[in-house]
Structure 1
Amino acid sequence: MSPILLAILVMVCVGALGFAFIPSLAGSSRASKRMKALRADVQVRRQTVSADQIRETRRRTVQDALKQQSDALNARRAKKTLKHRIFQAGIKTTPKVWIRNCIILGVAMLVVLVVVQVPLLFAAVLALGCAYVLPNMYLGWQRKKYQNAYLDELPNAVEAIVRGVRAGMPLNDSIRLVAREVKEPVRSEFMRVLDQQSIGKSMAEAVEVLFERVPLPEVNFFIVVITVQQQSGGNLSEALSNLATVLRNRKKMKAKVKAMSSEAKASALIIGALPVFVIVAVSVISPTYLSPLFTTSGGLICLGIAVTMMAAGAFVMNRMIQFDY
């Protein structure tokens, strides 16, 4: 082998060893940067995976809480006994007193019908129907009136809680402020929440009494927000602020639906009142013309069929103008 070739081989070997043992000559700064970037990417991936796991765990926790809350509230909503209906209507009476008043109403109606010479059988049927239908109609009307008054004031109560929480007050003190400042019937309902806390219940358990009196979706939203925040944490003021916005939007939608259905309600009222108006007008013009309708068995049967058909028509028209919002 020639000396020149040997020298070249030696230089190549020395250069290779130099590149191997002196990283700075091989541009190791770029390699180190790539290693650091790789480590950073690995750390970012680990943090992303950890955040995703935390988010998934929290999501499952919230889902479980919502499911438990929904099942509990649905079980309570299923209670439709007379005691619960009276309680939800805001009437301060007992079922025994209510049943006694219904019996008195039925007896009074029977006496009136007998005095006006209605056959005893028909008088008893009409009195029994009035004793059952009229009190239930009044109870439903009073219950709806109480719920509407509650929903009108609930957004103000939620916003008051938001202001208190943002000012640094605990949730209990914010609810106590609502129980002092807002209007009825929300004030007394939040007082019941404070009473439940005073006997040792947690906030998540105490707010459930609101749904017993007013079983509405809006109240369910408020209970779910409080329950989830108590179990899994989160920004309570922001959640309640969003809830207040949702409640006001639902209130606007309810007013819009009421305005849209007002024409149909007026038409239904006119159609329903037209037969009564005709009967009164004919009785004034010719008092004896409709007397067989009330004095004969066939006339009473026809009158009963007509009243039944009118009631069925009124029910159908009422269902036609009911809208979900």
Structure 2
Amino acid sequence: MLNAPIVIYGLVFVAVLILADTVLRVVFGIRRNALEVRNRLEALKLKSGAEAAHTELLLRRGSAKQGANASLLQALRSFYAQSGLEMTTPRRLLWLLGIYALCYLAVHLFLRTGLAVDLGIAFVLTVVTSGLLVYRKRAARIKKFTSQLAPAIDIIVRSLNAGHPLNAALALVAREMPDPIGSEFGILSDQMTFGSDLDQAMLNMIDRVGADELSLLAVTVSVQRGTGGNLSEILENLAQMIRDRLMIKAKIKAISAEGRITSWIMLLFPFFLFSMIRTLVPEYFDPVWESGYGTIVVSTCLVLMGLGMVILRKLVNFDF
């Protein structure tokens, strides 16, 4: 009976149905949790209160100052904080060790220049790879924050038109908007609640986020407080200007897409060709290394390739 095709098809159908149901439950469960708690700051407030939540979130992000020695690494700390990564020190070390192990394995398999040289090259690759990963994470977070800024300003405008003070309008953004802008405006609101001036709190948020458009919001609010005027109308115009900037950036990205993908292909193709030849004929590049000039030639080529990528990036990314 179990060998009948109809039974086998039925069992396969039930198995696929159960698998699909499990996947959908997980996906919608994650989405539901994200909607129930709009940002991490609100979740922390439910556990430990606003002041403890503010301090804990800054510590997670690596942006809280920790003694006098913090000023020595302030630039790197700020860069890491702008990525939005929340890792403890042991977890960061584990990630670095994992990346270092992968880099050493790749260097050992493809170069095999000796233990000391392999370890040195793996260390350099680990630093570069870690920096690129943090940079990409930071860029993605700033991009998402910028896309959320115009709707957040619209919430502030509607709140001001309804008669709410500016502090209440900023707190409304923290409650209604998801991360990353929800958490950042939540920290801003808490700092103002704890006695910080609005201008200083905005400057602190600019340091935490790193988005240029946020500087426009800070300048707008600061100038309006000093000179007066219709803040709602000013913010409404600012939101429209931010949308126009995003539209121009999207058009530039679309126009330059072909050139950018070509540059990436030209950058990655030498590594692919080297790996393929190294795999098929392991001793093919031995004369280069044995000549004593292999490291100089490879280093020069890598520097020129990196310089070319920087120039191409400057051509398609500019301030306006």
What range describes the TM-score normalised by the shorter chain of this pair? 0.5 to 0.7
Cα offset, 1:306, TM superposition: 3.1
Q: Does 1:236 align with 2:231?
A: yes
2:185 maps to 190
Q: Which runs of 5+ in 2 are unaligned?
A: 1-72
1:153 corresponds, among 142, 148, 155, to: 148
Q: Deviations over 1:233-257 (max 9, x none)?
A: 2111011111111111111111111
Aligned mates of 1:218, 1:305 — CA distance in 2: 38
1:134 maps to 129
Note the 1:98-113 alignment, pairs <5 A. 98=92, 102=96, 105-106=99-100, 109-110=103-104, 113=107
Aligned mates of 1:172, 1:275 — CA distance in 2: 55
SS across alignment from 2:256: helix
2:195 corresponds, among 162, 177, 200, to: 200
The structure whose Rg is larger is 1
Change (3 A) 1:96 1:287: closer
Which amino acid in 2 is paired with 1:91? L
Cα offset, 1:114, TM superposition: 5.2
Cα offset, 1:307, TM superposition: 3.0
Aligned mates of 1:203, 1:304 — CA distance in 2: 50
Q: Deviations over 1:24-56 (max 9, x none)?
A: xxxxxxxxxxxxxxxxxxxxxxxxxxxxxxxxx
After TM superposition, the score normalised by the length of structure 1 is 0.66
Which amino acid in 2 is paired with 1:178? V
Change (3 A) 1:315 1:269: same
2:261 maps to 266
Aligned mates of 2:189, 2:153 — CA distance in 1: 16
Cα offset, 1:97, TM superposition: 6.7
Cα offset, 1:301, TM superposition: 4.2
Change (3 A) 1:131 1:223: same
Aligned mates of 2:123, 2:275 — CA distance in 1: 25
Q: Mean alpha-carbon deviation: is it higher for 269-278 or for 109-118?
A: 109-118
Q: Does 1:250 align with 2:222?
A: no
Note the 1:216-227 alignment, pairs <5 A. 216-227=211-222
Residues 99 and 126 of structure 2 are in contact (CA less than 8 Å); yes or no, is this contact kept in structure 1? yes
Q: How many residues align?
A: 247
The percentage of counterpart residues that share the same residue type is 28
Residues 82 and 95 of structure 1 are in contact (CA less than 8 Å); yes or no, is this contact kept in structure 2? no
Residues 84 and 141 of structure 2 are in contact (CA less than 8 Å); yes or no, is this contact kept in structure 1? yes
1:85 corresponds, among 61, 79, 88, to: 79
Aligned mates of 1:271, 1:188 — CA distance in 2: 40
Change (3 A) 1:126 1:234: same
Residues 146 and 211 of structure 2 are in contact (CA less than 8 Å); yes or no, is this contact kept in structure 1? no
Aligned mates of 1:258, 1:290 — CA distance in 2: 39
Change (3 A) 1:283 1:127: closer
Q: Which runs of 5+ in 1 are unaligned?
A: 1-78
2:315 maps to 320
Cα offset, 1:174, TM superposition: 1.5
Which amino acid in 1 is paired with 2:84? G
Which amino acid in 2 is paired with 1:196? Q
Aligned mates of 1:206, 1:241 — CA distance in 2: 22
Give the aligned CA root-mean-square deviation in angstroms: 2.8
Cα offset, 1:124, TM superposition: 3.4
Change (3 A) 1:217 1:310: closer
Q: Mean alpha-carbon deviation: is it higher for 100-109 or for 309-318?
A: 100-109
Aligned mates of 1:322, 1:252 — CA distance in 2: 14
Q: Does 1:278 align with 2:273?
A: yes
Aligned mates of 1:281, 1:305 — CA distance in 2: 21
Cα offset, 1:284, TM superposition: 5.6
Q: Deviations over 1:246-287 (max 9, x none)?
A: 111111111111112212101211221232333344446545
Q: Deviations over 1:213-251 (max 9, x none)?
A: 123331111111211222232111011111111111111
